[in-house]
A and B are shown apart, each in its own frame.
Chain A
């Protein structure tokens, strides 16, 4: 069982990296690069370019995505991950709606699935150590707390 816990933790780190990468990388296009194609996505939602510039909406969305990505890398919270998965599916759906090929959406399946997969792995790990899992639970992924959980398990 200890080996199983180690395997779960390894998977969690891989998925945390994936989620953080997807959100920090994408968010940077809003907050750092201010990519012009984003105006098209806002216009799909009925928000004109002038309003986006006036209220700095691109920066707001970008910073929020970067923050969510960094939080996931440090402390993955299942409720936040569910929100992130929903946001990712919604924001990627804007691409075909804005006139881009549907493959732009299909190609990004990994970015959308990563937060959901992380929720499942996190839940399975918590079940393994016989703790109660809930949407706001934060489980240790390194340090003495994790070592204690591992040592409490039979071989």
Chain B
């Protein structure tokens, strides 16, 4: 008996990412779904304008040195990416790394407007475009491992 106890391998210390997350705000279903639907709709709506192509977007490309003829071709690509990740988050799974991308992309697209000569209010009005995906990421909890960021 003693020998069996002594030969048992020592218990491996639990890694942080293996520990269950404590119950918290992520378990509040209405909040989770509100944020999920908002993120999805924001990107599907924004992406739709890219697919349809919008003349107002041309100056935004100009800020980063992309000429109009290339901008018109890039718009549907950007739009398709936006719609795809919107649908991914809304229908499939709100993957953490995608939520982080949404927050960064939301901030960039809001920032580019005043840089393209539009009033600063365009940026201020669009604070929710990056704050809501960031809030959702905080609610889900930042990833503690590569696997968690991808889930």
Contacts and interface: CB of A to CB of B under 8 A. Distances in A.
A61 to B, nearest CB: 14
Contacts, number: 124
A11 B26 CA distance: 12
A134 interface: no
Give the most central of B22, B119, B123, B127: most A CB within 10 Å.
Answer: B127
A95 to B, nearest CB: 11
B41 interface: yes
Contact of A22 (B40, B44, B125, B138): B125
Q: Is the interface of A mostly helix, strand, loop or mixed?
A: helix
Given A18-B131, A103-B49, A106-B41, 13 more contacts: A4-B25, A7-B138, A14-B135, A22-B125, A22-B127, A26-B125, A32-B121, A101-B49, A107-B49, A109-B37, A110-B38, A110-B42, A111-B128
Interface of A: 4, 7-8, 10-11, 14-15, 17-22, 24-26, 28-29, 32-33, 101, 103-114, 116-117, 120-121, 124
